[in-house]
C-alpha cells in the first residue's frame, strides 16, 4: 500500500521540531557546560570559555562556507532528482571541510596555540584557563566540522530525527564527561574541552549509521577529480553570505570581549558572558527555524513554487515571534535565576547581571528577525541584499559598542539594541532603493549560477 503523502503543515513541523530538539540539546549543552564550569572551577572559567568563542565561531564559519553551501545544493539537486550531482556536492563538501579542519589542527593546535590564546585574552588570571581550553578545541576541531557537516547532509537526505538523536547523545556524553574529567580526573577546564570533542566523536558515529540503510545511499561519496574545482566554486559561492555573517560575528566577539574586559574588568566580562549564554536560548529557536526555512525553502525554490516558499516563510516567522516574546518575558521577570545558574552569588554581581540580561533580552529580538530576513533574501536569489545583511549584522555593533563604552560606559549594554535598530533602518532603505521583490522567477535557475546576482544560500548548524 502506497504511503500517504505528507501535508505541507505536517512536513514543516516534522522538520521544525527535529531541528528544535537539535538546537535544544546544543543549547543545553553549551549553557549547562558553562554552569558546570562556573560551579566546579570558577566564574573565571566561564569567562575563559566565552573568550574562546571566536575560535568556535571561526570553525563554524568553515562549516557554513562549505557544508552549508553544499547542503543547500544537495537538497536542491535531490529535489530535481539529479542524484549524480547531489553526490558530487556531498562528496566535495566533505573533502573540503575535513581538509580545512586538519589544516587548522596543525596550525592552531600544534604550531601557534600560545599565540592564539594571547591574542584572544590579555588578562593574566584568565589567560591560563583560556589557553588550556583553546588548545584542545583547536586540536579537536575536525570533530566539530564533521558533526555539523554530517548533521546538515543527513537532514537534507530526509532524516532530521536521526540528527536529533545524534546531537542529544553528543551533548549528554559531553556533560557527563564534563563532571568526570573536571571533578574526578582533575583535568580542570581542559577536561571540559576534551569532553566536548569526545561527545562529537560519539555523535559522528551515530550519524554515519544513516548510510547503513540502502535507501539512504542515494547520497553517497563519489570521489572524482574531474570537475572538482568547478564544484568547489559553486559550493563556496552558495556558502559565502552566511560565512561572511559568521566571520563578522567572529570579529564582533573578539572586539566585544576586548572592549568589555578593558571597560568593565573581570566582573564586566562575566556579566557579558552570561548574556552571551542567554543568546544560546534565542539560538535554540533561531537555529531550528533557520534550518527548517533553509531545508524546506530550498526544496520549494527548486520546485519553483512561490506558494510553497511563502507558506514556509510565514510559518517560520510566526513561530519565531511567539518564541521570542515568551523568552523575553521570562528573562524580564526572572533574570536572577539565570545569573545564579552561572555562579553569580554576590549582590552587586547579581544586580549587574539582572540589568544587562533585561537589555540583551530585548536586543536579541531584532537580531533574530534580521537573520531570518537574510535567509529569505537568499532563497529568493537577492544575493546583494543577503551579503549586505551579512556584513551589517555584526559590524554595525562594533563601532556602536566602542563609542558607548568610551563616552557613556553606563549605557554600554544598550549598544547591541541601538546597532540592530540602525541596521533595520538601513535594510529598509536599501530594500526600497533597489526595488527588490520577493518573487520566484520561473525563467531563472537561481541556484544553478555561481554568480553574485543569482546565488542563493545554504544551511546553518
- Residues 192-204: what's their mean pLDDT? 92
pLDDT at 191 over 60: yes
Cβ neighbours around 76 below 10 Å, total: 25
Asked if the structure places residue 111 within a domain, the reply is yes
pLDDT at 1 over 60: no
pLDDT at 453 over 60: no
pLDDT at 443 over 60: no
Average pLDDT along the chain = 82
Asked if the structure places residue 461 within a domain, the reply is no
pLDDT at 198 over 90: yes
> What pLDDT is attached to residue 144?
87
Take residue 439 and report the three cell numbers written for it.
518573487
Number of domains in the chain: 1
> What pLDDT is attached to residue 31?
64
Asked if the structure places residue 56 within a domain, the reply is yes
- Residues 430-451: what's their mean pLDDT? 64
> What pLDDT is attached to residue 48?
82
Q: What percent of the chain has pLDDT over 70?
A: 91
CA dist 63 and 79 (Å) reads 22
Take residue 115 and report the three cell numbers written for it.
599565540
* 286-343 tens-digit pLDDT: 888 887 887 788 777 767 778 888 898 999 999 999 999 998 998 899 888 877 777 7
Within 41-82, where are the H helices?
Answer: 43-51, 53-63, 69-79
> What pLDDT is attached to residue 3?
45
E strand or H helix at 82, and its extent? none
pLDDT at 57 over 70: yes
Take residue 442 and report the three cell numbers written for it.
520561473
Taken in order 239, 53, 293, 169, the sign of the CA dihedral is: positive
pLDDT at 457 over 70: no
> What pLDDT is attached to residue 188?
87
Taken in order 287, 290, 296, 299, the sign of the CA dihedral is: negative
Residue 80 burial (CB < 10 Å; 0-12/13-18/19+)? middle
pLDDT at 420 over 50: yes
Q: Three-state DSSP class for 18?
A: helix
* 133-150 tens-digit pLDDT: 889 989 999 998 898 889
> What pLDDT is attached to residue 99?
92
The mean-pLDDT minimum among 61-65, 176-180, 406-410 falls in 61-65
Give the pLDDT band (50/70/90) at residue 440: confident
Asked if the structure places residue 190 within a domain, the reply is yes
249 touches 416 (CB < 8 A): no
47 touches 269 (CB < 8 A): yes
48 touches 121 (CB < 8 A): yes
Of residues 447, 436, 87, the one with CA closest to residue 303? 447
The mean-pLDDT minimum among 94-108, 204-218, 385-399 falls in 385-399
Residue listed under C-alpha cell 513554487: 305
Asked if the structure places residue 338 within a domain, the reply is yes
pLDDT at 404 over 90: yes
Boundaries of domain holding 129: 8-454
pTM of the full structure:
0.68
Residues written for the chain = 461
Helices 8-40 and 141-156 pack at an angle, to 10 degrees, of: 160
Q: What percent of the chain has pLDDT over 90?
A: 21
Take residue 156 and report the three cell numbers written for it.
537534507
- Residues 230-236: what's their mean pLDDT? 84
Q: Three-state DSSP class for 450?
A: coil
Asked if the structure places residue 31 within a domain, the reply is yes
Amino acid at each position: 500500500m502506497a504511503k500517504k503523502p505528507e501535508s505541507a503543515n505536517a512536513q514543516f513541523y516534522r522538520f521544525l521540531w527535529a531541528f528544535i530538539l537539535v538546537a535544544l540539546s546544543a543549547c543545553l549543552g553549551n549553557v549547562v557546560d558553562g554552569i558546570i564550569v562556573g560551579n566546579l572551577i570558577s566564574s573565571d572559567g566561564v569567562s575563559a570559555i566565552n573568550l574562546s568563542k571566536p575560535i568556535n565561531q571561526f570553525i563554524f564559519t568553515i562549516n557554513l562556507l562549505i557544508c552549508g553551501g553544499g547542503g543547500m545544493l544537495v537538497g536542491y539537486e535531490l529535489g530535481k532528482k539529479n542524484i549524480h550531482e547531489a553526490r558530487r556536492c556531498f562528496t566535495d563538501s566533505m573533502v573540503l571541510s575535513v581538509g580545512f579542519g586538519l589544516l587548522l589542527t596543525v596550525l592552531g593546535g600544534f604550531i601557534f596555540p600560545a599565540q592564539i590564546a594571547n591574542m584572544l585574552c590579555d588578562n593574566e588570571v584568565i589567560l591560563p584557563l583560556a589557553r588550556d581550553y583553546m588548545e584542545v578545541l583547536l586540536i579537536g576541531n575536525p570533530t566539530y566540522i564533521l558533526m555539523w557537516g554530517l548533521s546538515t547532509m543527513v537532514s537534507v537526505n530526509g532524516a532530521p530525527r536521526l540528527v536529533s538523536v545524534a546531537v542529544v547523545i553528543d551533548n549528554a556524553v559531553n556533560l557527563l564527561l564534563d563532571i568526570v574529567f573536571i571533578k574526578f580526573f582533575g583535568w580542570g577546564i581542559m577536561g571540559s574541552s576534551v569532553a566536548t570533542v569526545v561527545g562529537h566523536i560519539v555523535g559522528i558515529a551515530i550519524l554515519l549509521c544513516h548510510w547503513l540503510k540502502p535507501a539512504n545511499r542515494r547520497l553517497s561519496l563519489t570521489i572524482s577529480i574531474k570537475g572538482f574545482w568547478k564544484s568547489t566554486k559553486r559550493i563556496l559561492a552558495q556558502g559565502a553570505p552566511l560565512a561572511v555573517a559568521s566571520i563578522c560575528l567572529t570579529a564582533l566577539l573578539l572586539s566585544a570581549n576586548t572592549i568589555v574586559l578593558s571597560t568593565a574588568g573581570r566582573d564586566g566580562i562575566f556579566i557579558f558572558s552570561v548574556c552571551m549564554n542567554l543568546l544560546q536560548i534565542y539560538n535554540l529557536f533561531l537555529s531550528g527555524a533557520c534550518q527548517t526555512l533553509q531545508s524546506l525553502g530550498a526544496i520549494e525554490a527548486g520546485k519553483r513554487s512561490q506558494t510553497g516558499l511563502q507558506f514556509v516563510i510565514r510559518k517560520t516567522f510566526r513561530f519565531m515571534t511567539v518564541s521570542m516574546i515568551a523568552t523575553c518575558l521570562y528573562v524580564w521577570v526572572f533574570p536572577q535565576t539565570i545569573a545564579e545558574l552561572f555562579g553569580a552569588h554576590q549582590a552587586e554581581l547579581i544586580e549587574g547581571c539582572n540589568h544587562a540580561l533585561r537589555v540583551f533580552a530585548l536586543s536579541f529580538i531584532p537580531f533574530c528577525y534580521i537573520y531570518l530576513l537574510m535567509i529569505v533574501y537568499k532563497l529568493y536569489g537577492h544575493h546583494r541584499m543577503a551579503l549586505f545583511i551579512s556584513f551589517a549584522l555584526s559590524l554595525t555593533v562594533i563601532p556602536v559598542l566602542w563609542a558607548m563604552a568610551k563616552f557613556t560606559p553606563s549605557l554600554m549594554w544598550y549598544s547591541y539594541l541601538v546597532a540592530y535598530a540602525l541596521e533595520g533602518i538601513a535594510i529598509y532603505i536599501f530594500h526600497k532603493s533597489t526595488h527588490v521583490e520577493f518573487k520566484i522567477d520561473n525563467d531563472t535557475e537561481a541556484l544553478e549560477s555561481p554568480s553574485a546576482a543569482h546565488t542563493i544560500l545554504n544551511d546553518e548548524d
